[in-house]
């Protein structure tokens, strides 16, 4: 199968597309790929690391306020459609999949105009602006959260697949995770991370929280600050604690996140859809602190889905303090029965083989076209 992938801006849009590519490679060794992303997006760097052929178009997103910049965005969109059509005609894909971010707009739209089967995947509980637009043109809409199918137009082929990113973490090795952190096998690990770039509010709360932790009580706290916050945060913590205790592991970034997640007992994190897919695939209980600075407050909607199922505790940023975070963590980590119950609820949410379901639908679209 020849497949064009498109998704960009954040890892949450990029990694699901990569997961679909890896699933298709495993099922069909002769598959060929082209990833079309934006010139300015994170995908220009991440996709190259995944050894997938990459081409870029120049595109930006719409501003939600009236602005002359939106006129420029429309012009970039039209030029992006033209450029995408040229790339699609040259590559001759069997199917095109968009996994979110404004770069998908011209790519998926161009594919639909050329009669190429298309699928878009929505990671969040509340659909993004680009996917709402593309749902009018795509052949299939896939969603990550059960019950969100109604957010798209009636009459469309909308299917619940879960998030393809979940599939990639299930084979991760806990042993390698422990080894990479320098923590003994079987230890209890609380992972605190504010997304790939870190989160100032979570960093502040973690600094406030560490004195409450005492000597760790046998629990290892792995604290990922984000690269831009690392030096200042580590310096502050060392001054506050009189050094860096053996139970606290301060890191700027984690490159082997699936393996670290595989050895994690409890995670404190934002509520990006791809990360939630990973933690539910592994059955990890969570304390979720949704970012308030996202479109339509979709992270809180994501987090509430896990909270309703008993897989997470939600702590809003406006209520976030070191003491509140410590109490939420201790409530879970201090009760084996609660942690086991939350883990089971988390695992139940993540049990779908999401990447395989998406690939199955891609095959159906290709077969339908050939008929």
Token pair 């690990």 is at which residue? 189
Residue 218 and residue 188 in contact, taking contact as beta carbons nearer than 8 Å: yes
Which helix (H) or strand (E) segment holds residue 269: the answer is strand 266-269
**In the numeric block, which tokens belong to residue 289?**
């602190």
Looking only at the bridges linking them, the beta strands covering 54-57 and 188-193 are unpaired
Q: Is 124 a known ligand-binding residue?
A: yes
- 176, two tokens: 């390698």
Is residue 271 within 8 A of residue 300, CB to CB? The reply is: yes
SS (H, E, C) 156-210: CEEEECCCCHHHHHCCCCHHHHHHHHCCCCCCEEEEEECCCCCCHHHHHHHHHHH
Residue 61, marked binder: no
User: Is 323 annotated in some ligand binding site?
Assistant: no
List the alpha helices (DSSP H) in the chain: 11-27, 43-49, 68-91, 104-113, 129-134, 165-169, 174-181, 200-213, 230-241, 257-262, 273-281, 298-308, 322-333, 336-349, 354-370
Exposed/middle/buried for residue 280 (C-beta within 10 Å: 0-12, 13-18, 19+): buried
Q: Is 272 annotated as a binding residue?
A: no
Is 196 labelled a binding residue? Answer: yes
According to the annotation, is 299 in a ligand binding site? Answer: yes
Binding-site members are 10-12, 124, 196, 299
Binding-site members for UDP-N-acetyl-alpha-D-glucosamine are 10-12, 124, 196, 299
């Amino acid at each position: 199968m020849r497949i064009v992938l498109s998704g960009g801006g954040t890892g949450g849009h990029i990694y699901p597309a990569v997961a679909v590519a890896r699933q298709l490679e495993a099922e069909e060794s002769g598959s060929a790929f082209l990833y079309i992303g934006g010139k300015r997006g994170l995908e220009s760097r991440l996709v190259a690391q995944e050894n997938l052929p990459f081409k870029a178009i120049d595109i930006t997103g719409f501003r939600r306020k009236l602005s002359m910049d939106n006129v420029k965005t429309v012009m970039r969109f039209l030029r992006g459609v033209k450029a995408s059509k040229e790339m699609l005609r040259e590559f001759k894909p069997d199917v095109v999949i968009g996994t979110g971010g404004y770069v998908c707009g011209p790519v998926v739209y161009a594919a639909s105009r050329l009669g190429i089967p298309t699928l878009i995947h929505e990671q969040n509980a509340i659909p993004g602006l680009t996917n709402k637009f593309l749902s009018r043109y795509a052949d299939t809409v896939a969603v990550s959260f059960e019950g969100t199918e109604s957010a798209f137009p009636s009459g469309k082929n909308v299917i619940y697949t879960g998030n393809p990113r979940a599939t990639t973490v299930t084979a991760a090795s806990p042993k390698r995770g422990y080894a990479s952190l320098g923590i003994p096998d079987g230890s209890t690990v609380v992972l605190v991370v504010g997304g790939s770039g870190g989160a100032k509010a979570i960093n502040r709360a973690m600094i406030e929280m560490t004195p409450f932790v005492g000597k760790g009580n046998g629990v290892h706290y792995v604290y990922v600050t984000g690269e831009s916050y690392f030096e200042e945060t580590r310096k502050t913590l060392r001054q506050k604690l009189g050094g860096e205790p053996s139970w606290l592991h301060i890191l700027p970034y984690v490159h082997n996140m699936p393996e670290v997640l595989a050895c994690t007992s409890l995670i404190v994190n934002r509520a990006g859809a791809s990360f939630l897919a990973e933690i539910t695939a592994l059955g990890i209980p969570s304390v979720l602190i949704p970012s308030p600075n996202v479109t339509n407050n979709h992270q809180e909607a994501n987090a509430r889905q896990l909270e309703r199922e008993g897989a997470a505790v939600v702590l809003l940023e406006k209520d976030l303090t070191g003491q509140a975070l410590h109490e939420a963590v201790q409530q879970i980590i201090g009760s084996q029965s609660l942690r086991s119950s939350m883990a089971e609820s988390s695992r139940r949410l993540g049990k779908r083989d999401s990447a395989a379901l998406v690939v199955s639908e891609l095959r159906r679209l290709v077969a339908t076209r050939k008929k």
